[in-house]
Amino acid sequence: MTSSPPLLRAHGLHKSFGDRSVLRGVDLEASQGTATALLGPSGSGKTTLLRCLNALDVPESGIVSIADVEVDFDRLPASGRGREAILRGLRAQSGMVFQQHHLFPHLTALQNIIEGPVTAQRRPRDEAVAEGRALLAQVGLGDREDAYPSQLSGGQQQRVGIARALAITPRVVLFDEPTSALDPEIVGEVLAVIRDLASQGWTMLIVTHEVRFAEAVADQVLFLDDGVVIERGTPAQVIGDPERERTRRFLRRVL
Ligand code: ADP
């Protein structure tokens, strides 16, 4: 990690669903151009954390800041247009890649990618098309822009999903188990794209069970357990030489 101020910062995040407390005071910092891997057992709150950073879920308290947008959830209006504008402002700072790609089935690969820039960001269509084509080439699908999702393999669909997340030029890309819905033999092609993005300097948070991938790509690793970050550090520290028995037990099981 560099000493420059973090591009992304979360402080004291709390999130409950009903009486279930899912995030119980999560702190997180990520510098520009770094990859952060979020590891932890199923149900520990990893997806909820990503969704809170993207304002898809709204924490009850805590602060999230990405670049020059900061939201203090303790002061968020309970309802109304002001609240929506604040959440939209935070959401625009990050692009999310889901476990299932959520592509529109009736739109081609290129149309899926330019949807966000043209509809949400109101950018000129020809500009969005040119950038969309460049993104498709970047994820290795330059020759498939007219294909519909059903005509693409699972790995190709997920690569379109990644290009779509990048198309809004987010400051941070959030990956939520991007390979866990894929057949084992095509996991590698999607991980290769993510690795490529890391080397190009994208700032990324990656929820993954691919521990060896995290070890190779991440600058920092956070281990969540029951809504709390119980361990954080370099991959060599957290994966190679974990301090906590809980982390060791998890790694023994998945490695
Ligand atoms: P992980 O990604 O680490 O597997 P999640 O963040 O998906 O964990 O889930 C953490 C806990 O929060 C789980 O117990 C899950 O059932 C619960 N949870 C997540 N989303 C919701 C929701 N929308 N409504 C109710 N419970 C939820």
Does ligand 1 come within 6 angstroms of the Cβ of 45?
yes
Q: How far is the CA of 106 from the centre of ligand 1 (A)?
A: 30
Does ligand 1 come within 6 angstroms of the Cβ of 40?
yes
Q: How far is the CA of 17 from the centre of ligand 1 (A)?
A: 8
Does ligand 1 come within 6 angstroms of the Cβ of 48?
yes
- pLDDT tens figures, 16-42: 999 999 999 999 999 999 999 999 999
Quick one: pLDDT at residue 102?
87
* Residue ranges of the chain whose pLDDT lies below 70: 1-3
Take atom 11 of ligand 1 and give the residue whose Cα is closest.
43
Take atom 5 of ligand 1 and give the residue whose Cα is closest.
45
Does ligand 1 come within 6 angstroms of the Cβ of 227?
no
Regarding pTM above 0.90, the answer is yes
Quick one: pLDDT at residue 3?
60
- Ligand 1 pocket mutation, candidates 17, 39, 53, 60, criterion most atoms within 8 A of CB: 17
Give the ipTM of the model, two decimals please. 0.97
Quick one: pLDDT at residue 147?
98
User: At a CB cut-off of 8 Å and minimum separation 6, what does 91 contact?
Assistant: 54, 55, 56
- pLDDT tens figures, 127-175: 999 999 999 999 999 999 999 999 999 999 999 999 999 999 999 999 9
Does ligand 1 come within 6 angstroms of the Cβ of 208?
no
